[in-house]
Amino acid sequence: GFKVGIVGLPNVGKSTLFNALTKTAAAQAANFPFCTIEPNVGEVAVPDARLDTLAGIAGSKQIIPARMTFVDIAGLVKGASKGEGLGNQFLANIREVDAIAHVLRCFEDDDVTHVEGRVDPVEDADTIETELMLADLESIEKRLQNIVRKVRGGDKEAVQQERLMKEAKAMLEEGKPARMVEVSEDDAKAWKGLQLLTSKPVLYVCNVDEGEAATGNALSDKVAQMAAEQGAGQVVISAKIEEEISQLDADEAQMFLEELGLHEAGLDRLIRAGYDLLGLETYFTVGPKEARAWTIRRGTRAPQAAGVIHGDFERGFIRAETIAYDDFVSLGGEQAAKDAGKMRVEGKGYEVKDGDVLHFLFNA
Ligand code: GDP
């Protein structure tokens, strides 16, 4: 599954958010209730109303949403790259995630201490990012030395790695994160293999006070501007509200949200922003037994999409019977879509589309 790491300075609201995320009714109601893998790792159901619609049409007994993993990576402080705070261990945790949700304090509260004694989310973002950039620079220097011999020997892979590391290094030395390097499609795999901390997609999560959840505030506006400049994502949420919502059942939660002028929980927006950021899409499998959502990267072809369900599906892939979501819903189900000629038979080259309802045929 896909993993998002929650980072941020101490006292910005990370734990509040993480707890809310993993206790929310949506996560509980799912057939994958939040399960504690470790105290700081939680799995949440990805909210998707389309899945309920499909299940309703097909009369599916079970609804199984897609899942996303969140990791609460506490302990990142100024000097982490030099081993301050919980330093290296936390940098290692970040290395393992697919994306970073960076929580920024955008609320004023004299009762909550700020580690720097002032509330400035843009500066805070810079503090954390600087640590990550320093860690990247250090690891690049080391690895550049380690591959010198291979590069001299003409090892193609090493030559490519060296070139990419030098590009990353130049960017970092300008004080910019590695994700701002433009990487060609040919280099994408090797680039990912470098596992640079600052090459991971970042979503800034502006934690605002309860009254400002619907509108944001001057601080979150500043973050939005920074995010736009960096090609990062941004969402405004109030961790406190989310915490309260997580105690309510679904109906109560909806009423509470409407009262606050919000239409959906911030967590839903957060998860969806995570999807967008990671370039993720959903396809469905629908039958009388279960309706289930599966997560793929945008542009995934049918056999690899099948492989998300099971490796055998990918290896023995024959074809995918495909119905677009809109056809399935407007025509009223699989048989009706088939009768109307809307079930397509797609082969190995087919790029799965968001919302496709798929049925795979494969050689066992
Ligand atoms: P962490 O250190 O980043 O995990 O931060 P916590 O989640 O433990 O939050 C630190 C303190 O800030 C706690 O006392 C929270 O109740 C408080 N807090 C979190 N979010 C908000 C908020 O939106 N407004 C206010 N006023 N306090 C908040």
| 3-state DSSP of 339-357 | HCCCCEEECCCCECCCCCE
Amino acid 33: pLDDT: 40
Give a yes or no: residue 313 inside a domain: yes
Give a yes or no: residue 328 inside a domain: yes
Q: What is the mean pLDDT of residues 36-60?
A: 85
* End-of-domain residue from the set 278, 310, 329: 278
CA distance 223 to 8: 14
Amino acid 31: pLDDT: 42
Residue 81 and residue 230 share a domain: yes
The pLDDT of residue 34 is above 50 = no
**pLDDT tier at 269, thresholds 50, 70, 90:** confident
Query: Comparing 273 with 62, which gets the higher pLDDT?
Result: 62
Task: Name the residue of 16, 110, 207 to mutate for ligand 1: max ligand atoms within 8 A of Cβ.
Answer: 16
Backbone φ and ψ of 163, nearest 5°: -60, -45
Residue 335 and residue 213 share a domain: no
Residue 53, domain extent? 2-278
Give a yes or no: residue 291 inside a domain: no
Amino acid 278: pLDDT: 86
For 65-125, where are the E strands, in sequence order? 67-72, 99-105
CA distance 140 to 194: 9
- CB-ligand 1 contact for 266 (6 Å cutoff): no
The protein residue whose alpha carbon is closest to atom 24 in ligand 1 is 209
Number of domains within the chain: 2
Q: Which of 5-19, 68-82, 136-150, 246-260 has the lowest mean pLDDT?
A: 68-82
What is the distance in A from the centroid of ligand 1 to the CA of 13? Answer: 4
Give a yes or no: residue 286 inside a domain: no
Amino acid 181: pLDDT: 94
The pLDDT of residue 339 is above 90 = yes
| Side chain identity, residue 115 | V
- CB-ligand 1 contact for 75 (6 Å cutoff): no
Give a yes or no: residue 22 inside a domain: yes
Residue 329 and residue 271 share a domain: no
Residue 85 and residue 49 share a domain: yes
Amino acid 83: pLDDT: 64
Is-above-0.95 flag for pTM? no
- CB-ligand 1 contact for 220 (6 Å cutoff): no
Q: Which of 36-40, 52-56, 248-252 has the lowest mean pLDDT?
A: 36-40
Binding residues for ATP: 11-16
In the three-class reduction of DSSP (H, G, I as helix; E, B as strand; rest coil), residue 96 is classed as coil
CA distance 231 to 225: 10
pLDDT tens figures, 169-228 = 999 999 999 999 999 999 999 999 999 999 999 999 999 998 898 899 999 999 999 999
What is the distance in A from the centroid of ligand 1 to the CA of 69? Answer: 22
Burial annotation 48-74 (CB, 10 A radius, 16+ → b, else e):
bebbeebbebbebeebbbbbbbbbbbb
Residue 310 and residue 232 share a domain: no
Amino acid 80: pLDDT: 64
Residue 212 and residue 65 share a domain: yes
Give a yes or no: residue 294 inside a domain: no
Residue 341 and residue 229 share a domain: no
Amino acid 37: pLDDT: 46
The count of other CB atoms within 10 Å of the CB of residue 317 is 21
For the chain, where are the E strands, in sequence order? 2-7, 36-38, 41-45, 62-64, 67-72, 99-105, 202-207, 233-237, 280-286, 290-297, 317-323, 344-346, 357-362
**Which CATH number goes with the domain that contains 199?**
3.40.50.300
Q: Of 26, 16, 25, nearest to 46 (Cα)?
A: 26
The pLDDT of residue 344 is above 90 = yes
Residue 93 and residue 37 share a domain: yes
The protein residue whose alpha carbon is closest to atom 2 in ligand 1 is 11
What is the distance in A from the centroid of ligand 1 to the CA of 236? Answer: 15
Give a yes or no: residue 140 inside a domain: yes
Amino acid 68: pLDDT: 87
Residue 312 and residue 187 share a domain: no
Question: Edge-to-edge strand order for the sheet containing 233-237?
Answer: 36-38, 41-45, 67-72, 2-7, 99-105, 202-207, 233-237
* End-of-domain residue from the set 245, 278, 311: 278
The count of other CB atoms within 10 Å of the CB of residue 131 is 26
By the 8 A CB rule, do 364 and 314 touch? Answer: no
Q: Of 351, 346, 359, nearest to 304 (Cα)?
A: 351
Residue 343 and residue 211 share a domain: no
Kindly provide the ipTM of the predicted complex, given to two decimals.
0.94
Residue 205 and residue 321 share a domain: no
**pLDDT tier at 77, thresholds 50, 70, 90:** low
What is the distance in A from the centroid of ligand 1 to the CA of 124? Answer: 15
**Cα-Cα-Cα-Cα dihedral sign, residues 326, 329, 334, 340:** negative
Q: What is the mean pLDDT of residues 100-114?
A: 89
Give a yes or no: residue 325 inside a domain: yes
Residue 103 and residue 247 share a domain: yes
